[in-house]
Structure 1
Amino acid sequence: MVGSRDLPPSTVSFGTVFFQNQFRAKPQWPAPGTSLSDQTAIVTGSNTGLGYEASVQLLELGLSHIILGVRSLERGEAAAAKMRQLHPKAKIEAWELDMSSYPSVQAFARRCEILQHIDIVILNAGLTRMTFHTCAATGHEELLQVNYISTVLLAVLLLPVLRAKARPRRPPHLTIVSAALTLAAKFQYKDYVPLLPAFDDPQLFHREETYNSSKVLAHCFLWHLCDYVSGNDVIVNLADPAWVRGTDLTRGVEGCAMKLGVKAFGVLTGRHPRVGASCFVDAVVNKGKESHGCFLMSWKIHPFAAYLYTPEGRRVSQRVWDETLQELDFAGVRRILESMKA
């Protein structure tokens, strides 16, 4: 199978990419009659925004069981209650998941082992911030922790669970939410050795670039993950929803002027949340093994960030991979990845 790393890098300007992605691309909705009956899905960050909307769309396709991975059980239960009103026949549960806490991520993954089957996972939990914040539990900068380190930790912990819970000849899907902004990222941390700790330096924080770079890291990780995970076992991909108005992603934006600016930009250019969330549903319902190891944008397979295709980019992505495995050694990720090769 040909993944994103096997494609030639894109040479189109980001301005053109943004215009095409926001205004020209056409949604690819599931075919009429598509049914997720008897299937189980996990969606993180699903009490609000795109995670909530993606969950609703899966339920509209007849999904039988959904787990909402949420930081606040109170808000998660409120979201689940609304979903139950619309889909009373489905089993809808809210499970606690704090992406800033390694023990919480590990406990969530262990809890998934009780499920009989897992067909779909959408790792949507994420955030953006305009100022530097540190996670008290880990000491890492918050965007690095939530958008990347904890997300890939959960993904790796779930891989053997998904393989064990798979149905015959139907590999489960694991989709990590990405962003088209990876294609515009300058990746300012690339020259630092080690690289990941550079995110933790408040002097290097940049309100746009730190977010963009946190998303590039997932491109680096997936580039190498495909050497360990077969699409016959678990289909792993990244999906970009484009810029979407009215979501909770920018809850960390501080200051009235900035909040108003972000809101106005969303009103003028943003996709409707239903359209944005359809990108995740497309990744786990419409796309098959051909999407394994791919970055999906505008409902199509797209190359990774162009920098990764350069000799320097290959070396840097290898460092990201090595440093990530070292950071997550406590959770046995190397052993898990080697077991996925078997």
Structure 2
Amino acid sequence: MPSSKELPPSTAPWFPNQFITNQFRTKHQVPPKDTDLSGKCVILTGANVGLGFECAHQLLFYKASRLIMGVRSSTKGEAAAAELRRQYPKANIEVWVLDMSSYDSVRAFAARAGNELHRLDIAIMNAGMAASKFQVLPGTGHEETVQVNYYSTMLLSILLLPVLKQKSPVGVPGRLTIVTSMLSIASKFPQKKETPLLPSFDDKKFFDPVDIYPASKFLGQLFTWKLTDFVSADDVVVNLVEPGFIKGTALHRDVPAFVKPFMYLFKASSARTMKVGASTYIDAVAVKGKESHGCCLMNWDITPYAPFQYTPEGKEVMDRLWRETLEEFNLIGVDANGILKSS
């Protein structure tokens, strides 16, 4: 089957065409009955709430032996873990602190994985946020949503690649799945002509509370297109998964009060359940195989990237974003290029 990069870009508008297809015309799929994660060790970020917590349930239901819950609050993480331990007493469930707004926390988490885990099969980059107000983080100098959804997610992904390669069973590639949003297709992305590109996201004049979440996820798609050119599917299968529009998550908790009634009604009428949404994660890490490497998975199928990425301008932006991101990581003491060459 062709990969996402080989498929022709979609010409259908995201709204309403693709949204209606996703939410109303797609038959929900469940993993095959013989899906078995016995013996596997899984890292799941943002694991104590929403889709992450539901995904944790499903990973354990399919008999994952060890679950590392990457969470910002150890107190909230332990409360969530206690509930999971009651239901799955045979599993080894651990809570590790991970603050995606901090480079130091991301590096410490990845180092701990490399030092303490004797095995790592799967890593799911689920943690994310959608800010309604412009805020630059003092510790990194970057706008908060872009820091969490893009910089830290890409950094953790790169740092975990050698761990997944070295600590998955011989002959079985590790699995790295990055959660995305196809709302990114509708992102205005006005910064694309800015040079340099990334600093423009820290400029308040470009901040749009409606567009910042799709834009941050779009950056992840642009970067992952390039990232998977440096990773062999024989070592680590890397893919993106789009769970759809989901009800019951805390993603939109910071929207203005006057918007919340609309969001409630919109979700009630059109959103998928968290159980359905989380099943796309299981599909991405346990059902799909090497054919999904470098692909976007939507509606349990391999789909194209955003049309922009197939254009000459899109490819130029991807190259520029790649260079700027690796330069950013070099500034914080991470030789991402060296890691990718060695892994």
TM-score category, normalised to shorter length: over 0.9
Check whether the contact 1:226–1:293 (CA below 8 A) recurs between aligned residues.
yes
Check whether the contact 1:127–1:251 (CA below 8 A) recurs between aligned residues.
no
1:6 matched to which residue of 2? 6
Check whether the contact 2:35–2:287 (CA below 8 A) recurs between aligned residues.
no
1:338 matched to which residue of 2? 341
1:234-288 CA distance string (max 9 Å, x none): 00010001110110112332x3212222222111111001001111111001111
Residue 104 (1) aligns with residue 105 (2)? yes
Could you tell me which amino acid in structure 1 is paired with residue 186 of structure 2? A
Could you tell me which amino acid in structure 2 is paired with residue 157 of structure 1? L
Check whether the contact 1:4–1:302 (CA below 8 A) recurs between aligned residues.
yes
- TM-score scaled to structure 2, two decimals? 0.97
Shift of 1:293: 0.2
Shift of 1:337: 1.1
Check whether the contact 1:242–1:271 (CA below 8 A) recurs between aligned residues.
yes
- Give the Cα–Cα distance (whole angstroms) in 2 for the partners of residues 63 and 227 of structure 1: 29
RMSD, aligned CA: 1.1
Check whether the contact 1:188–1:213 (CA below 8 A) recurs between aligned residues.
no
- Give the Cα–Cα distance (whole angstroms) in 2 for the partners of residues 268 and 30 of structure 1: 25
Alignment of 1:210-229 (within 5 A): 210-229=212-231
Could you tell me which amino acid in structure 2 is paired with residue 262 of structure 1? M
- Give the Cα–Cα distance (whole angstroms) in 2 for the partners of residues 261 and 137 of structure 1: 35
- Give the Cα–Cα distance (whole angstroms) in 2 for the partners of residues 332 and 108 of structure 1: 17
Shift of 1:2: 4.1
* SS of the residue 2:252 aligns to: helix
Shift of 1:33: 2.5
- TM-score scaled to structure 1, two decimals? 0.97
* SS of the residue 2:191 aligns to: coil
2:62 matched to which residue of 1? 61
Check whether the contact 2:45–2:125 (CA below 8 A) recurs between aligned residues.
yes
1:257 matched to which residue of 2? 258
* SS of the residue 2:158 aligns to: helix
- Give the Cα–Cα distance (whole angstroms) in 1 for the partners of residues 279 and 38 of structure 2: 18
- Give the Cα–Cα distance (whole angstroms) in 2 for the partners of residues 298 and 2 of structure 1: 16
Could you tell me which amino acid in structure 2 is paired with residue 72 of structure 1? S
Check whether the contact 2:179–2:242 (CA below 8 A) recurs between aligned residues.
yes
Check whether the contact 1:188–1:209 (CA below 8 A) recurs between aligned residues.
no
Residue 139 (1) aligns with residue 141 (2)? yes
- Give the Cα–Cα distance (whole angstroms) in 2 for the partners of residues 202 and 250 of structure 1: 21
1:46-98 CA distance string (max 9 Å, x none): 10000000110010011111000000000000000000011000000110000
Structure 2 alignment gaps of length 5 or more: none
Give the stretch that moved more between structures: 68-77 or 323-332: 323-332
- Give the Cα–Cα distance (whole angstroms) in 2 for the partners of residues 81 and 339 of structure 1: 38
* SS of the residue 2:39 aligns to: coil
Shift of 1:36: 0.9
